[in-house]
């Protein structure tokens, strides 16, 4: 330690030189002066020793308080010291682990090549960082993010290794949850539509000579009536048991649930027995299910195809499966239909519309956003705008969202539609900001599928960054049914994160769901959108008036804004204003408008404000 101090301390060197020369100095005055220099040098050295000791104590205190595990080993890779976080994470105390090789923590998951690369990198660069699976004292494995640095002396010889690691068990669990949410049907545990697309594509790529794929789409006949009669819980249990029976029949194949009462099967085979296999599948699934003390037989409508005979592309095969299923439904219930090319020509109107919606999504020219303005009741200022997706078909004209949105939900297109809305809204906000036309947020509706698939956050972040739009300008509106959908994971945590990035959050169609009061106070929400169903009959309907007053009073208590939807008359507007509603949206103020009409309105408002 003394050499470290003296190297860069002139006063210390001076004191040492003075001490060495004291006996050689000829006069008392010179000796006294040398003694003074010795004292000054000694005081400087003592001050440095105290500062270094304080630094070490602070460093040790920081290590004691650090939530990350710290491990220090010598040049022979024997552990010399650990901090309390190490003990808390691994279960090993300082006394138990001291003197042991860190490999005592090894889980056995990593092979010899992994550790050879580890030591090669550490010896070559003096450091290593990465994910490692280790084992706690009692045997359970855990993932950690490990950073190791080699400590050398003045000659460059390694004297110690310092390792700093973080337990990332929760992070890995979150990753797995997101993967499960994105690729697994939460009710049955089977692959969902998104995952089935990937699995079908993979099986197509791996087909060997002589192999073919039998692909089946199964729809349970009249399941809604069965569900209504038994109740939702019993209906869910029936779907789960149906999936289990289907998986047992197709051992080695792929079984998945596309949603609702639709299931899909993929079988790799070398037999030319497609029709016989489908009928065997039907017979197995038609055996009665015991529901309580009563047997229940299910009718099944089945569409099927065979690859590569009917196509080599997973997207094409999905479309042809749906063509076959729609054709089977036209024959009534409990019918099977294999795909044939004529089905794509003769197709069902709904199937034709579905294919045209896919084309519209692919090209993007027929789909556009309309915007409906929202206003403050007190002074009539613009408060925001809601982005509403519209489909203008070249032949059929404007197609109602009530027609194409359910179609998109049923056939797995909602995520793509949602991505389109996010990107178009951000692009439009960027344009208006550049033109100096608007500084109010645009609200978009978020579907359950966008949350369930787990990539909403990344989609939002990418689009905002692409168009250089702040998150505060893009509001997210979710219906109560979405908030209550368990498939979307922990909604509250995800909304907290989105709100933390700046997005305002609203509950749409408020009052039409269930348990609103129970969960509302737990959610990070800025605004409630009072459903138009409660506004339509105001102020004459006493029940609607009571509900509206109660919602407004509750929102005031929780510090939330309320925007009333569907305001179409002066009487509705006046009543809402008298009850303290802050914002309104509806035909009385503005209809949903194309971008050109909205821009004209914004420019007129800007001219008025400047005049």
Instruction: Give the C-alpha distances (Å, rounded to integers) separating 206 from 203, 212, 312.
Output: 5, 10, 12
Instruction: Find residue 145's DSSP bridge partners.
Output: 131, 166
Highest mean pLDDT among 38-42, 61-65, 257-261, 329-333: 257-261
* Residue 540 in this model has a pLDDT that exceeds 60: yes
Task: Give the max Cα distance, the chain.
Answer: 125
The SS3 call for residue 1 is: coil
Instruction: Give the C-alpha distances (Å, rounded to integers) separating 187 from 156, 164, 183, 198.
Output: 60, 41, 12, 20
* Residue 608 in this model has a pLDDT that exceeds 60: no
> Pick from 350, 392, 386: which is nearest to 367 by CA?
392
Residue range 354-603, CATH number: 3.20.20.450
* Residue 64 in this model has a pLDDT that exceeds 80: no
CA distance 416 to 418: 5
> Distance between alpha carbon 30 and the CA centroid of its chain, in Å?
79
What does the pLDDT read at residue 482? 67
pTM: 0.52
Q: Give, as one character, the DSSP assignment of residue 104.
A: G
Contact 304, 217 (CB under 8 A): yes
CA 412, 246, 409 angle in degrees (round to 5)? 15
339: left (phi over 0), alpha (psi -120 to 50) or beta: beta
Contact 358, 322 (CB under 8 A): no
* Residue 19 in this model has a pLDDT that exceeds 70: no
* Residue 611 in this model has a pLDDT that exceeds 70: no
> What are the tokens at 278?
């489908």
CA distance 206 to 200: 10
CA distance 554 to 102: 58
Give pLDDT tens digits for 146-179: 999 998 988 889 999 999 998 888 777 665 654 5
Gyration radius from the chain CA atoms: 35
Torsion angle, CA of 291/293/295/301, rounded to 10 degrees?
Answer: -20
What does the pLDDT read at residue 6? 44
Strands 69-74 and 336-338: unpaired
What does the pLDDT read at residue 4? 43
Architecture in CATH of 188-347: 2-Layer Sandwich (3.30)
Instruction: Provide the b/e sequence for 164-177 (b: ≥16 CB within 10 Å).
Output: bbbbbeeeeeeeee
Instruction: Give the C-alpha distances (Å, rounded to integers) separating 249 from 196, 242, 263, 277.
Output: 18, 11, 13, 11
Contact 70, 84 (CB under 8 A): no
Helix (H) and strand (E) counts for the chain?
A: 24, 21
Helix axes 169-183, 193-205, angle to 10 degrees: 80
Give pLDDT tens digits for 283-336: 999 888 887 777 888 889 999 999 999 888 888 888 888 888 888 887 777 889
Q: Give, as one character, the DSSP assignment of residue 106.
A: B
CA distance 390 to 400: 7
> Pick from 530, 532, 599, 584: which is nearest to 370 by CA?
599
CA distance 411 to 405: 10
**Band of residue 254 on the pLDDT scale cut at 50, 70, 90:** very high
CA distance 81 to 163: 11
Instruction: Tell me the fold of 66-167.
Output: Beta-Lactamase (3.30.450)
> What are the tokens at 557?
């208590």
Collect all residues with Cβ–Cβ distance below 8 Å to 499 and sequence separation of at least 6: 505, 524, 526
CA distance 519 to 29: 87
Give pLDDT tens digits for 360-419: 887 778 999 999 999 999 888 889 999 999 999 888 888 888 888 877 876 767 878 888
> Pick from 305, 220, 221, 228: which is nearest to 257 by CA?
220
> Pick from 570, 598, 599: which is nearest to 586 by CA?
570
> Pick from 284, 301, 314: which is nearest to 215 by CA?
314
Highest mean pLDDT among 18-22, 490-494, 513-517: 490-494
> What are the tokens at 553?
């009073």
> What are the tokens at 395?
């032949």
**Which stretch of 231-245, 366-380, 597-611 has the lowest confidence by average pLDDT?**
597-611
Helix axes 314-330, 193-205, angle to 10 degrees: 120
State the number of CA atoms in the 13 A half-sphere of 596 facing the CB.
0
Residue 57: its H or E element:
helix 28-65
CA distance 473 to 464: 10
DSSP 350-406: HHHHHHHHHHHHHH-SSEEEEEEEEEETTT--EEEEEEEEEEEETTTEEEPHHHHHH
Alpha helices for 216-291 (secondary structure H): 223-230, 232-249, 274-285
Give the percent of the chain with pLDDT over 90.
26
Q: Which residue has the tokens 């009052």?
A: 511
Contact 5, 45 (CB under 8 A): yes
Average model confidence (pLDDT) for the chain?
Answer: 82
> Distance between alpha carbon 105 and the CA centroid of its chain, in Å?
33
């Amino acid at each position: 330690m003394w050499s470290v101090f003296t190297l860069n301390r002139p006063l210390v060197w001076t004191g040492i030189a003075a001490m060495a020369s004291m006996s050689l100095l000829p006069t008392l005055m010179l000796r006294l002066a040398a003694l003074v220099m010795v004292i000054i040098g000694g005081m400087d050295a003592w001050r440095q020793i105290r500062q270094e000791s304080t630094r070490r104590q602070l460093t040790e205190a920081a290590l004691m308080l650090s939530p990350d595990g710290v491990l220090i080993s010598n040049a022979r890779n024997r552990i010399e010291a650990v901090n309390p976080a190490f003990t808390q994470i691994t279960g090993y105390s300082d006394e138990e682990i001291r003197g042991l090789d860190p490999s005592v923590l090894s889980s056995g998951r990593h092979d010899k090549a992994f550790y050879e690369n580890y030591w090669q990198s550490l010896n070559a660069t003096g450091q290593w960082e990465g994910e490692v699976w280790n084992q706690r004292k009692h045997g359970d494995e855990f993932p950690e993010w490990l950073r190791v640095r080699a400590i050398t002396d003045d000659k460059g010889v390694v004297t110690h290794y310092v390792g700093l690691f973080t337990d990332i068990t929760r992070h890995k669990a979150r990753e797995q949850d997101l993967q499960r949410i994105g690729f697994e049907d939460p009710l049955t545990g089977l692959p969902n539509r998104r995952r089935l697309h990937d699995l079908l594509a993979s099986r197509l790529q791996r087909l060997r000579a002589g192999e073919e794929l039998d692909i089946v789409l199964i729809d349970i006949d009249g399941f809604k009536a069965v569900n209504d009669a038994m109740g939702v819980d019993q209906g869910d249990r029936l779907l789960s048991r149906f999936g289990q029976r289907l998986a047992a029949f197709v051992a080695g194949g792929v079984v998945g649930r596309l949603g609702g009462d639709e299931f899909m099967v993929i079988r790799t085979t070398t037999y030319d027995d497609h029709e016989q296999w489908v009928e065997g599948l039907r017979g197995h699934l038609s055996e009665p299910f015991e529901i309580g003390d009563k047997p229940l037989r299910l009718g099944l409508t089945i569409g099927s195809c065979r690859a590569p005979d009917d196509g080599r592309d997973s997207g094409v095969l999905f479309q042809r499966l749906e063509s076959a299923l729609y054709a089977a439904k036209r024959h009534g219930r409990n019918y099977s239909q294999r795909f044939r090319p004529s089905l794509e020509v003769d197709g069902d109107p709904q199937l034709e519309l579905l294919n045209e919606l896919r084309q519209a999504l692919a090209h993007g020219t027929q789909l556009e956003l309309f915007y409906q303005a929202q206003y403050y009741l007190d002074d009539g200022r613009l408060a925001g705008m809601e982005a509403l997706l519209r489909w203008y078909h070249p032949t059929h004209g404007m197609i109602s969202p009530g027609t194409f949105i359910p179609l998109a939900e049923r056939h797995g297109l909602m995520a793509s539609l949602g991505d389109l809305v996010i990107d178009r809204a951000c692009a439009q906000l960027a344009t208006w900001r550049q033109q100096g036309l608007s500084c109010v947020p645009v609200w978009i509706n978020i579907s359950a599928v966008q949350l369930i698939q787990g990539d909403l956050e990344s989609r939002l972040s990418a689009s905002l960054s692409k168009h250089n739009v702040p998150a505060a300008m893009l509001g997210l509106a979710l219906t109560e049914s979405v908030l209550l959908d368990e498939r979307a994971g922990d909604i509250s945590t995800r909304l907290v994160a989105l709100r933390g990035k700046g997005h305002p959050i609203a509950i749409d169609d408020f009052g039409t769901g269930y348990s609103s009061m129970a969960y509302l106070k737990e959610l990070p929400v800025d605004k409630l959108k009072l459903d138009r169903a409660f506004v339509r009959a105001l102020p004459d309907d006493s029940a609607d008036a009571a509900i509206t007053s109660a919602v407004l009073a509750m929102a005031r208590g929780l510090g939330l804004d309320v925007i009333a939807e569907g305001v179409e008359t002066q009487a509705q507007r006046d009543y809402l204003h008298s009850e303290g509603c802050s914002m309104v949206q509806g035909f009385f103020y503005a209809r949903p408008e194309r971008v050109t009409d909205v821009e004209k309105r914004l420019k007129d408002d800007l001219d008025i404000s400047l005049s």
